Amino acid sequence: MRIDGLQYSNWSPRIFRQLREGGVDAIHVTISYHETFRETVLNFEKWNRWFEEHSDLIMKGHWASDIDRARKTGRTAVFFGFQNPAPIEDDIGLVEIVHSLGARFMQLSYNNQSLLATGCYEAEDPGITRMGRQVIREMNRVGLVVDMSHSADRSTIEAADISERPIVISHANPHDWQPALRNKRDAVIRAVTERGGMLGFSLYPHHLKGKSDCTLDSFCQMVADTAARYGAEHLGIGSDLCQDQPDSVVEWMRVGRWSKEIDYGEGSAAAPGFPPMPAWFRDNRDFGNIEDGLRATGLSAEEVAGIMGGNWYRFFAENFTPKG
């Protein structure tokens, strides 16, 4: 079983076919960065059309059991998430609405301060806000998973403590392996995993040691070391693959509508766009390289199977359904 915990590609029939060629059984797809509720509904609508037009390749995922159905029918189950709480605007009632539409993950902040939590680019982190505490409780109730991939340290640790259900960092790596601003320090990963949460390993070059020149051996050894430290059962892949996206999209991701100035994020004025992916992971057909690399580190077959998808499957089964 292969499950990717985060992608934001420029979706096309070619990429849908590559998912099948790579044996990817399920993916978590970002359908909102800075979009309002209404704009996000239009993205749901766009995906509904793709599910209709490419029903031989992809299907909408609601529950973990949909992955079983996708595997039996040779398709990839697609689960939706938001990288920012913008779609719920300032209305806690929209949490249940977006879950009913198919959202299964929502980040509490995206780099900046939000109404709910602090992003990792802010100089100060006052933690989870009053609204944030209420929204976490509502997300727990309906089965919308708290994702803290782009949030600051205190906010993430507080979210893990406040949430009555496990939370995730769907796409990041340990900070002590590659000290990128978005990668996570030991105390943060420990707070998430000790409460049953998940860390998805990112393949976005800015998060890799050596960036685009990162080797497969280095990446897989990092995964093995992380498994030894926190437990392999809490780990998965969250590739953050942004295949075929134009550079204008990375500007939207970083800037949205909140600034008139260009924010280069982890890039620079000299290299503002998407960096090239490492040679061993260009697209969804390359998941086998990671699986082979993990086996070579000495991880057990059970641990490798869990990291490649089994752990995400278990997490989906336990956390997408409403409480009670």
CB neighbours of residue 21 within 10 Å:
12
Structure tokens at 252: 């939207």
pLDDT of residue 270: 67
pLDDT in tens, 171-185: 999 999 999 999 999
pLDDT per residue as tens digits for the range 79-101 = 999 999 999 999 999 999 999 99
Q: Which residues pair with 129 in a beta bridge?
A: none
How many residues belong to the chain? 324
pLDDT, one tens digit per residue, over 44-77 is: 999 999 999 999 999 999 999 999 999 999 999 9
Domain count, the chain: 1
In a domain, 270, yes or no: yes
Q: Is the pLDDT of residue 254 over 80?
A: no
The pLDDT of residue 70 is 98
State the residue range of the domain holding 135.
Answer: 3-319
Instruction: Report yes or no: 169 and 108 within 8 Å, Cβ to Cβ.
Output: no
Mean pLDDT of all residues in 116-128: 96
Smallest Cα–Cα separation from 210: which of 237, 240, 180? 180
- Which CATH number characterizes residue 219's domain? 3.20.20.140
> pLDDT confidence of 272, banded at 50, 70, 90?
low
Greatest C-alpha distance within the chain: 52
Mean pLDDT of 292-300: 98
* Mean pLDDT, all residues of the chain: 95
DSSP string, 244-286: T--HHHHHHHHHTTT-SS---TTS-SSS-SPPPPPTT-SSGGG
Q: Are strands 198-201 and 235-237 parallel, antiparallel or unpaired?
A: parallel
Q: Which residues pair with 119 in a beta bridge?
A: 151
Q: What is the mean pLDDT of residues 219-235?
A: 98
In a domain, 324, yes or no: no
Burial class of residue 90, CB neighbours in 10 A (0-12, 13-18, 19+): exposed
Burial class of 285 by CB neighbour count within 10 A (0 to 12, 13 to 18, 19+): middle
